[in-house]
């Protein structure tokens, strides 16, 4: 039993104080100490004893008393003890300051400590322990450099001052100079081999930090040898074991941790590590207990943060997000700097995300990213938050970064792909495919949603095979595989039942075929069915839709698709039945209701359609743009509906339609259909330029998107061209449209095409287009009527031509016969059925054709005569030409002969002369030489002269000859020219007469026939007049023969409208698949 003896003053007696039984009140001791004037070292001893027993107050009391001025005075000589007391106080406050969290008090403690140290310095400047103390203080304050210099001073005073050495080692360690620190520790060990185990601990830590785990381990082990209860060493060893990640070592590590725990249950580090372990083993209860203990054990903020984190994590994994969030926050609050310990921020972010607090979650993840800018998980979380907040661009950037950092992160690729869906389908598909191949490589389970999305994207790009592969992969095995191959078990082809197939399914189930449709696969099956539908494999599509409905009758979209397919096959009653079935499942399904409205419109059930559409409007607060659009169309149809036209009503309907279209455009500025509708209304009002602009823009937009099929806008644009008289352009536009969208099967467009030709007076083209149309739609007698008109027009036009061949006339006569035949046949029919023509009108045409035919006979005769004459003329001309040729030849011959003769004569003459000359020469030879010369000259000159003369003569002859020829030609011209001119004149007169007759006939037969070109509007106005004036029978269509064609002009915008309704219907459904896919995806991520 340790005792302290206080010597009693002036005696040899001593007061024995048992250290274990120190009086509770330090004042008692102090009294004794003071009274006996005990040596100062005893004061210290007592203070230390109180300290050891945790009685801080008493400790302080003694030391403060011991450092009071009186004592200083009294013990003035006792330097060392006084210094020790002050140093002890300084060290105490240093420690307090180190532990204290609140900055103000911390500063105060440090100030006090400084105060004591300064006091010491007054007593003795050279005392090393003071310097050491100061060093410690500065170390605690974090002023490493200054503290280092303090320790240095201490060492200068005393080379082997161990505390100073240790202090320096500590500074170096904190500075990260592990090698230097290690050296210092080594020095200490050399100086003082028996030093406490903690020095070896320091060595171990340095070694550890220097990356020498083996030596570190040796050091720790040595520490434990020396001090088997050294918790730090145990924990350090434990951590090292745990970090090896080897199962055995981890186990070993855990035992060490447990040992540490048993030795000192309040070592927070060990507790935290233990908790960490139990967290992974899932023993959340133990985690909580350990952490409770840890909180008691430590005030160290970082340790506490760890403990809170462990607790929070435990709650987090249990799904108790509220409490997890509380603890995470507590953990975060313990930390001054996220750099110290980042995990709780991440955890907090996650929990807040789960709790829907996006903003704070975001700030926490951003803190994580500040510390670890390349942390993929946080990047993804941040990206997800951006996505949720609708900041798509930022979200995209974040995910891009995440995939760049970790190109193997499947989730990031998937998220990125989804983000790209709205902007860049190609890139989205790439992202999905990357994710897909990563998963495949990793042999990880493939999420159905991903495959579905890949499939949908391929689908939208028209890559049907790839799409099918993706969908099939997503679906795996099941009955759908039979459907895909088209063969039921046992290689039986799929049966063809169009209506209800439940029977068939029951039968299959009875045969043991599993028809289960897991909820997660409905969407994929639906999409696969859509794919088959797109590829026109409707049998497979139908059976898949029906399979879905067999198991999930509430899947309205499948009902609607089936209805749409029935509608496409013109099976309206079945279609209606299916829609009604869908509505039975879901009364307020806007899609189904829209579809019903559309069907009713098709069935000419105007009022019902309007009611249905209005119903959707009121349900959706007018936000449903499809029904708004459809109502716009409704009004438009109502405005242009044929028979009973009221200009006032027409105007109101048009105005209403315009309003509705514009409303849609306000809601959705990109709605092509509404823009198109607006263009139509404007065109209807005659504002061709504006409507043309609109149509052109819509057309551009529609051609840029392969999923949009919008022939209407092409047709409308062509209509505008027709309206503006640009028939060539219109024809091109119609033809392109027919080819591009209708496989050349749409008779209405053919009719428009024919009309453009008609307007351009291209009768033959018009007729041929109409014949094609008749071939496509033989039951449309109107087409025959139009064709007859075209033929009649052709004939009239040909006969009116001032110049035409007999062949042309003959052709026009045969056309006329065809027309007549068609007209008379139509008149026969129209008495039997109502085909929408007026019998009288046809009769009139029949009569007209007959007249024309009679007239044409004259024409034909004339033409034939003319032809005959022409032939004769030609013959004559030919003969004349031949005669002339012969004559010319003869003449030439003659001339040649003459010339020859002349030449011969001349030659003869020359010869004669020569002979003569020879003869003379003979005589001259006899005469004198000079004479000969002269004669010779003369002779030569004479010959020359003669030659010249001859030349001249020839020239003149030539001239004469050419003159002769010229005049001959002239003559010929005269001969041919005159009769011809006469003939032409005759002919012209005749032609003019005929033309007059024809024109007269035209006017006679049909005043408002409007056969001749007239602008469209006046014609329409006149017709209205007719209706208004005379309340005759239905004048609507059969009004005039030409009206049959202009009538198209009216129907023109009507028919395409019909179409466009369908299209927009389809459009909604297509997007619905995409939406579907997206929805699916979101639900996936939710389930994650």
Partner 1 sequence: MVGERESERAERGQGGGERAKRERERERERESERERKGRERGREGGRMKIASLKTLANAHHDGVWAATWVPAADGRPALLMTGSADESVKLWRADGLELERSNTGHSLGVVAVAAHPAGTMAASTSLDSFVRVFDVESNATLAALETRPSEAWQMQFHPKGELLAVAGGGSASVKLFNTSTWKADAVLLVSKGDVSDIKLSEKTGGKFVLSVAWSLDGKRLACSTMDGTIAIFDVNRGKLLHFLEGHFMPVRSLVFSPTDSRVLFTASDDMHVHMYDTENTTLISAMSGHASWVLSVDVSPDGSAIATGSSDRTVRLWDLKTRASIQTMNDHTDQVWAVTFRPPGGEGVRVGRLASASEDKSISLYDYS
Q: Which of 71, 26, 73, 75 is nearest to 47 (CA)?
A: 26
Rounded to a whole number of angstroms, the minimum distance from the CB of residue 825 to partner 1 is 4
d(C-alpha 145, C-alpha 140), whole Å: 12
- Whose Cβ is closer to partner 1: residue 6's or residue 774's? 774
In 3-state terms, the chain is what percent helix, strand and coil (to 5)? Answer: 80, 0, 20
Task: Please check whether residue 407 is in contact with residue 435, taking contact to mean a CB–CB distance below 8 angstroms.
Answer: no
Q: Which of 76, 79, 142, 82 is nearest to 107 (CA)?
A: 142
Pairing of the two strands 487-488 and 492-493:
antiparallel
d(C-alpha 431, C-alpha 1081), whole Å: 15
- Backbone phi, then psi, for 239, in 5-degree steps? -60, -45
- Whose Cβ is closer to partner 1: residue 772's or residue 921's? 772
Rounded to a whole number of angstroms, the minimum distance from the CB of residue 1072 to partner 1 is 22
Task: Please check whether residue 393 is in contact with residue 380, taking contact to mean a CB–CB distance below 8 angstroms.
Answer: no
Helix pair 672-684, 711-723: axis angle to 10 deg: 20
d(C-alpha 633, C-alpha 616), whole Å: 15
The residues that bridge with 6 in the sheet, in sequence order, are 15
Rounded to a whole number of angstroms, the minimum distance from the CB of residue 419 to partner 1 is 22
Rounded to a whole number of angstroms, the minimum distance from the CB of residue 849 to partner 1 is 15
Rounded to a whole number of angstroms, the minimum distance from the CB of residue 504 to partner 1 is 13
- Whose Cβ is closer to partner 1: residue 95's or residue 780's? 780
The residues that bridge with 488 in the sheet, in sequence order, are 492
- Whose Cβ is closer to partner 1: residue 498's or residue 924's? 498
Rounded to a whole number of angstroms, the minimum distance from the CB of residue 493 to partner 1 is 4
- Whose Cβ is closer to partner 1: residue 733's or residue 842's? 842
- Whose Cβ is closer to partner 1: residue 131's or residue 794's? 794
- Whose Cβ is closer to partner 1: residue 427's or residue 494's? 494
**For 935-951, what is the HEC assignment?**
HHHHHHHHHHHHHHHHH
Task: Please check whether residue 131 is in contact with residue 151, taking contact to mean a CB–CB distance below 8 angstroms.
Answer: yes
Measured between its terminal Cα atoms, the distance across the chain in Å is: 67
Rounded to a whole number of angstroms, the minimum distance from the CB of residue 784 to partner 1 is 6
d(C-alpha 328, C-alpha 333), whole Å: 9
- Whose Cβ is closer to partner 1: residue 375's or residue 434's? 375
Rounded to a whole number of angstroms, the minimum distance from the CB of residue 564 to partner 1 is 13
Rounded to a whole number of angstroms, the minimum distance from the CB of residue 300 to partner 1 is 23
Task: Please check whether residue 690 is in contact with residue 723, taking contact to mean a CB–CB distance below 8 angstroms.
Answer: no
Rounded to a whole number of angstroms, the minimum distance from the CB of residue 1001 to partner 1 is 24
Rounded to a whole number of angstroms, the minimum distance from the CB of residue 721 to partner 1 is 24
Q: Which of 780, 842, 847, 788 is nearest to 818 (CA)?
A: 788
- Whose Cβ is closer to partner 1: residue 444's or residue 587's? 444
Rounded to a whole number of angstroms, the minimum distance from the CB of residue 483 to partner 1 is 12
- Whose Cβ is closer to partner 1: residue 318's or residue 947's? 318
Which pairs count as long-range contacts for 408-416, CB under 8 Å and 24+ apart, including other chains? 408/438, 409/376, 409/380, 410/435, 410/438, 410/439, 410/442, 410/444, 411/380, 412/376, 412/379, 412/380, 412/383, 413/438, 414/447, 414/450, 415/380, 415/383, 415/384, 415/387, 415/1085, 416/383
- Whose Cβ is closer to partner 1: residue 396's or residue 1055's? 1055
- Whose Cβ is closer to partner 1: residue 642's or residue 977's? 642
**For 176-223, what is the HEC assignment?**
CCHHHHHHHHHHHHHHCCCCCHHHHHHHHHHHHHCCCHHHHHHHHHHH
Output the CA–CA distances (angstroms, integers) from residue 995 to 797, 860, 992, 999, in the order listed.
10, 13, 5, 6
- Whose Cβ is closer to partner 1: residue 142's or residue 828's? 828
Torsion sign (Cα): 427, 432, 433, 438: positive
- Whose Cβ is closer to partner 1: residue 116's or residue 505's? 505
d(C-alpha 1065, C-alpha 796), whole Å: 47
Rounded to a whole number of angstroms, the minimum distance from the CB of residue 787 to partner 1 is 8
Tokens of 968: 């001959």
Task: Please check whether residue 383 is in contact with residue 395, taking contact to mean a CB–CB distance below 8 angstroms.
Answer: yes
d(C-alpha 823, C-alpha 844), whole Å: 9
- Whose Cβ is closer to partner 1: residue 487's or residue 881's? 487
d(C-alpha 822, C-alpha 813), whole Å: 14
- Whose Cβ is closer to partner 1: residue 538's or residue 1068's? 538
Rounded to a whole number of angstroms, the minimum distance from the CB of residue 776 to partner 1 is 9
Which residues 6+ apart lie within 8 Å of 1068 measured at CB? 591, 594, 626
- Whose Cβ is closer to partner 1: residue 831's or residue 967's? 831
- Whose Cβ is closer to partner 1: residue 49's or residue 377's? 377
Binding site for partner 1 (CB under 8 A): 279-280, 313, 317, 343, 346-347, 350, 377, 443, 486-487, 491, 493-498, 535-539, 568-572, 742-745, 768, 771-772, 774-775, 777-781, 784, 814, 817-818, 821-822, 825-826, 828-829, 833, 835-836
Rounded to a whole number of angstroms, the minimum distance from the CB of residue 233 to partner 1 is 27
Rounded to a whole number of angstroms, the minimum distance from the CB of residue 1077 to partner 1 is 24
Rounded to a whole number of angstroms, the minimum distance from the CB of residue 380 to partner 1 is 11
d(C-alpha 51, C-alpha 55), whole Å: 5
Longest dimension (CA), the chain: 211
- Backbone phi, then psi, for 17, in 5-degree steps? -120, 120
Rounded to a whole number of angstroms, the minimum distance from the CB of residue 774 to partner 1 is 6
């Amino acid at each position: 039993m340790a005792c302290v003896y206080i010597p009693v003053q002036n005696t040899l007696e001593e007061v024995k104080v048992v250290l274990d039984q120190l009086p509770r009140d330090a004042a008692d001791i102090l009294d004794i100490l003071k009274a006996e004037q005990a040596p100062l070292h005893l004061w210290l001893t007592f203070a230390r004893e109180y300290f050891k027993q945790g009685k801080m107050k008493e400790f302080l009391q003694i030391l403060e008393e011991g450092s009071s001025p009186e004592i200083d005075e009294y013990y003035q000589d006792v330097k060392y003890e006084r210094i020790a007391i002050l140093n002890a106080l300084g060290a105490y406050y240093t420690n307090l300051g180190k532990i204290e969290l609140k900055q103000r008090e911390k500063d105060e403690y440090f100030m006090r400590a400084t105060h004591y140290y300064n006091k010491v310095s007054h007593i003795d400047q050279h005392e090393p322990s003071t310097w050491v103390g100061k060093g410690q203080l500065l170390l605690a304050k974090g002023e490493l450099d200054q503290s280092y210099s303090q320790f240095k001073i201490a060492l200068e005073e005393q080379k082997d001052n161990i505390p100073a050495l240790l202090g320096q080692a500590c500074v170096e360690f904190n500075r990260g100079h592990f090698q230097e620190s290690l050296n210092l520790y080594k020095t200490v060990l050399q100086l003082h081999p028996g030093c406490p185990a903690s020095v070896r601990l320091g060595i171990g830590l340095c070694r550890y930090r220097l990356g020498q785990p083996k030596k570190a381990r040796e050091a720790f082990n040595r520490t434990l040898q020396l001090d088997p209860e050294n918790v730090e060493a145990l924990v350090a060893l434990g951590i090292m074991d745990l970090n090896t990640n080897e199962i055995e070592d981890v186990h070993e590590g855990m035992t060490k941790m447990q040992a540490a725990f048993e030795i000192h249950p309040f070592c927070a580090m060990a507790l935290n590590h233990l908790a960490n372990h139990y967290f992974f083993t899932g023993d959340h209860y133990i985690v909580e207990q350990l952490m409770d203990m840890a909180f008691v054990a430590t005030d160290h903020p970082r340790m506490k943060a760890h403990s809170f984190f462990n607790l929070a994590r435990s709650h987090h994994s249990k799904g108790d997000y509220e409490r997890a969030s509380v603890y995470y926050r507590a953990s975060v609050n313990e930390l001054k700097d996220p750099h110290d310990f980042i995990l709780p921020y991440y955890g907090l972010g996650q929990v807040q995300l789960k709790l829907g607090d996006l903003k704070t979650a975001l700030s926490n993840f951003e803190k994580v990213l500040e510390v670890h800018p390349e942390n993929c998980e946080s990047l993804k979380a941040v990206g997800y938050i951006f996505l949720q907040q609708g900041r798509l661009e930022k979200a995209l950037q974040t995910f891009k970064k995440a995939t760049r950092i970790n190109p193997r992160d499947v989730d990031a690729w998937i998220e990125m792909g989804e983000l790209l869906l709205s902007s860049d389908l190609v890139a989205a598909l790439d992202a999905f495919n990357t994710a897909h191949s990563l998963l495949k490589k990793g042999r990880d389970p493939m999420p159905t949603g991903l495959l579905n999305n890949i499939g949908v994207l391929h689908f939208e790009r028209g890559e049907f095979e790839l799409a099918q592969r993706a969908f099939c992969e997503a679906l795996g095995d099941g009955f759908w595989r039979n459907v895909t191959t088209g063969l039921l078990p046992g290689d039986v082809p799929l049966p063809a039942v169009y209506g209800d197939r439940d029977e068939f399914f029951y039968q299959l189930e009875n045969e043991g075929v599993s028809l289960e449709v897991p909820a997660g696969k409905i969407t994929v099956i639906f999409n696969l069915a859509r794919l088959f539908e797109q590829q026109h494999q409707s049998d497979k599509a139908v059976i898949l839709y029906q399979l879905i409905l067999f198991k999930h009758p509430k899947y309205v979209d499948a009902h609607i698709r089936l209805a749409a397919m029935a509608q496409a096959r013109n099976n309206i009653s079945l279609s209606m039945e299916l829609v009604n079935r869908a509505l039975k499942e879901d009364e307020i399904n806007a899609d189904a209701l829209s579809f019903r409205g559309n069907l009713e419109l098709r069935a000419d059930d105007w009022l019902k359609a309007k009611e249905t559409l209005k119903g959707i409007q009121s349900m959706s607060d007018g936000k449903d743009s499809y029904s708004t659009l459809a109502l716009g169309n409704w009004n438009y149809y109502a405005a242009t509906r044929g028979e009973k036209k009221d200009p006032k009503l027409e105007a109101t309907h048009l105005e209403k339609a315009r309003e509705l279209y514009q409303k849609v455009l306000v809601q959705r500025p990109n709605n092509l259909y509404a823009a198109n509708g607006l263009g139509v209304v404007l065109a209807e009002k005659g504002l061709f330029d504006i409507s043309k602009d609109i149509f052109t823009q819509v057309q551009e937009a529609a051609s840029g998107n392969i999923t949009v099929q919008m022939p209407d806008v092409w047709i409308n644009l062509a209509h505008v061209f027709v309206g503006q008289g640009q028939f060539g352009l219109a024809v091109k536009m119609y033809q392109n449209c027919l080819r591009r969208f209708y496989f050349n099967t749409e008779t209405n467009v053919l009719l428009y095409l024919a009309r453009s030709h008609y307007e351009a007076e291209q009768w033959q083209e018009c007729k041929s287009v109409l014949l094609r149309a008749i071939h496509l739609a033989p039951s449309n007698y109107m087409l025959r009527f139009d064709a007859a008109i075209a033929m009649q027009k052709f004939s009239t036009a040909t006969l009116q031509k001032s110049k035409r061949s007999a062949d042309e006339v003959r052709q026009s006569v045969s056309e006329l016969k065809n027309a007549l035949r068609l007209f008379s046949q139509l008149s026969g029919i129209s008495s039997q059925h109502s085909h929408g023509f007026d019998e009288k009108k046809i009769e009139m045409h029949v009569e007209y054709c007959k007249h024309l035919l009679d007239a044409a006979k004259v024409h034909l005769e004339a033409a034939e005569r003319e032809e005959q004459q022409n032939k004769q003329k030609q013959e004559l001309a030919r003969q004349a030409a031949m005669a002339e040729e012969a004559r010319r030849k003869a003449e030439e011959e003659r001339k040649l002969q003459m010339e020859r003769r002349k030449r011969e004569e001349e030659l003869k003459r020359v010869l004669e002369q020569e002979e003569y000359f020879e003869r003379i020469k003979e005589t001259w030879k006899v005469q004198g030489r000079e004479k000969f010369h002269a004669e010779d000259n003369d002779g030569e000159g004479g010959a020359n002269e003669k030659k010249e003369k001859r030349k001249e003569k020839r020239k003149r002859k030539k001239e004469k000859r050419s003159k002769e020829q010229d005049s001959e030609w002239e003559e010929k011209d005269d001969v041919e020219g005159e009769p011809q001119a006469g003939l032409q004149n005759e002919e012209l007169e005749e032609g003019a007469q005929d033309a007059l007759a024809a024109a007269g006939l035209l006017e006679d037969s049909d005043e408002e026939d409007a056969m001749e070109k007239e602008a469209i509007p006046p014609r329409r106005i006149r017709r209205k007049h007719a209706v208004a004036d005379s309340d005759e029978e239905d004048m609507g269509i059969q009004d005039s023969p030409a009206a049959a064609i202009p009538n198209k002009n009216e129907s023109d915008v009507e028919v395409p409208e019909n179409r466009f309704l369908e299209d927009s219907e389809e459009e909604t459904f297509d997007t619905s698949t995409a939406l579907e896919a997206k929805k699916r995806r979101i639900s996936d991520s939710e389930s994650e």
